[in-house]
Amino acid sequence: MKETLIASPKDIFLHLLVIITLYFSAGSFMALIFQYINIGFPDAVSPDGYYGSQSSYSTIRWSIASLIVIFPIYLFTSRFLNKSYEITPDKRNLRIRKWLIYFTLFIAALIIIGDLVTLIFNFLDGELTTRFLLKVTTVFFVAGSAFWYYFYDLRKYKTE
């Protein structure tokens, strides 16, 4: 029977930090792209006019500020954890790591499924616009990237 490595509070903190910063970075990136799509392809029937564009600019500023702070924390923490895996490969088997990765895969899969259902629904309804297709593509790209990265990581370092 193989001895299991017990997660220290530091391990739990770092793994939670990396996943939470991933989620916030992905959300901020999608919000940023959505607002650029809203500005580039305005909704012709929206009564918001000037106020709608001001809201978009505010969201853009918030998204950029969030990405400037949060995404580097994600990168730094991921790099730090990967270095610790090189030193202690058994840390890849920590339960907290596996739970968070599988939870992330689950959430990403649900988002991708929902995105595809929304695409098909709008196609069948005859409501495919450039604006809508760009937003669907953005969601698919972000969720798909996270899913692919963590799925590949699990396959590459296949453990018990």
Q: What confidence score (pLDDT) does residue 157 get?
A: 76
pTM (predicted TM-score) = 0.87
Q: How confident is the model at residue 51 (pLDDT cuts 50, 70, 90)?
A: low
**Phi/psi of residue 51, nearest 5 degrees:** -70, -30
Interhelix angle 130-156/9-40, nearest 10 degrees: 160
Q: Mark out the alpha helices in the chain (DSSP H runs).
A: 9-40, 50-87, 95-125, 130-156
Lowest mean pLDDT among 8-17, 18-27, 52-61, 86-95: 52-61
Domain-wise residue ranges, the chain: 9-156
CB 136 within 8 A of CB 118: yes
Q: What confidence score (pLDDT) does residue 96 get?
A: 93
**Phi/psi of residue 3, nearest 5 degrees:** -75, 135
